[in-house]
Structure 1
Amino acid sequence: MPRIFKSGDYGKKGNYSTDKLKSWIGKEFNITAGHVGDWVNNGYPVTAIPVAGTCKVTDVDNEGYLIGEFAYNSLGESIKDKYPNLSIGIGANGEPNHLAILGYAPPHIKDLDQSFSEFSQDLTSIEKTETIEFAEEDAQGKIDEFIAFFRTVDVSKVNYKALFDVLYEKDDEKYAVNKLKDLGYTVEKTAEFSQDTLKSIAEGLGLMLSAKPVNNLTPQEIFVKAKAEFAREAERDETKKKLVSMFPPVLHKMLEFAVDKAYEEAEYSNIIEFSEDDKTSMATKLKEFSQGKSPFKELFKNYTESKEFSETTTSETTDVDKRIGGYYE
């Protein structure tokens, strides 16, 4: 029969003596295909988590190992060899309430569908538990030896961060969070920040907190809106290109700003009354203007018609052209 746990001091997760383990003899609980928390945190209800079988505690051996008798269902039989490592779940009463097959849930969470319905049970009662990993028969002994060794090592001479990463991956995040809280830190999950916490953070950064607008559009409505936006942007770029080419460089930045502003979604459909008979949007007005002739052509024509060119040389005419921006026919 397999060893499923070992007596010892697991720090924040509790101290489990041999006598404590012996009091569990006769208890029976589910074997879950992965941690309950892995499924729940990915949006699956506790009633849909696949169960791989049952475990009954039968003994505690002379080395302090808890011995269990397994009864796998077909799901458990198909995964037990590929995922041999186990993690016991301890409830609020300090007694085991499930045994998780480690490593299965993360790669298979995306596959959860009706095919698991025959293996699922209501696991609501064990949703909030402390899980303790038991990977190999002598794993805890090796860890105890490593801890004793590591206490004698100068951590400034080793890559401590890499070690922490491994420990964090092997353990659940609850222990790390509790450790930080013991040191006086406030730890909250970003996705679960309360409104008051978010407001406090925003005020500390000098920002104003506002609610994100909710998008209630259907996929079809989103497609129509996106299509209209692309068409508006294409029209804006074409209008800007034509309009800018009609004016001297000194006015280009101002014209580009005017066109961009007129083609913003809120302004694009905003109707302006230019006269009693002329009511249209600024975007439409700029587009119409861009399709006409440059006003500098008429300006140059009026200027040259009012000037007498009795003995003006070609060079002088060119200078006049340059002074008024070079817009002439």
Structure 2
Amino acid sequence: MFGKARGMTYRWGIAGTGRIASDFVDGLRQLPDAEVVAVCSRSADTAQKFATHRNIPTAHSSYEALASDPNVDIVYVATPNSRHRSDSEMFLHASKHVLCEKPFALNAVQAAATIATAQSERRFIMEAIWSRFLPVYVALGEVLATQPLGRISHVAADFGFVAPTQRAHRLNDPALGGGALLDLGIYCLHFARFVLGGHDSVVAHGELNDQGVDVDATYTLTYRSGATATLRSTTKHATPCTATITGERGVIHVESRMHNPPGFRVQLHGEAERYHRYDEVGQGLRHQVHEVHRCIDNGFIESPRLTHSETLAYAQSMDDIRRQLGVRYAVDEIA
């Protein structure tokens, strides 16, 4: 289904029952043209508890059942990282549109395959990098477009917190696509690309846990313009979770947490600081849904604001960083 009749709503199914799925349901319910009609889990009991708690009419005990549900138009994929490709492709083959949580896939080979499936099925899919659609990021983009800093020389961003240490936790287990890079580092990579565009090269170093996934990594990106970006992601240390953009005329400071900040400060040489604040109702997850609906309304299979090629670029960058760190997943087809 592309487009909808005036006054109709898009019917969403939720694949997964974790915290992000619950937060996403809250965001959907802030929108008049979205309805949450179903949720699924591999456990019937888990699905039913989530549905009861979140007042969702249908609970499915398998992902396949959600794919077969004729009352679902769009699926939000919030399953473990290791399932993102298989689940997204299953829903696409079932004629559902898809919003897939980041990371879009475990590597670039998987990402390209999923994008090809969306193209062949003529169904919309987008990676849920929700930062891109927040009003504060839109405003930051508008400020940057006026080039107040002149030539930008450096971008810095970090995202880190102390994660649970259980070996089976999703952030620690390579079988689940664990590691700080795929979960947190993608926000830093997104920020650098948002400001500077695509990079030319990356050099990474860091620390792995005893299962071989990254718990702390720093990566330096270089650009054709001469600019650099220093990024850090960690599940071992609590970091400021801020970002800065440095140029020849001043600095922009993005507040914590940099992926969903309350505001940013523009400090130009010799001028008073300007503070841009954007109070958000809820977590702001609903803004990406506006884009999903707009694209489907217009018959798009990708967002012009967050394209398939950009998603593939993130996957390729993370492949390169993981290769340098020595992180390898069983599904990798990296030479």
**TM-score normalised by L of structure 2:** 0.21
Structure 1 or 2: larger strand share? 2
Greater per-residue helix proportion? 1
Q: Which is bigger in relative contact order (C-alpha 8 A, separation at least 6)?
A: 2
Q: TM-score, normalised by structure 1?
A: 0.22
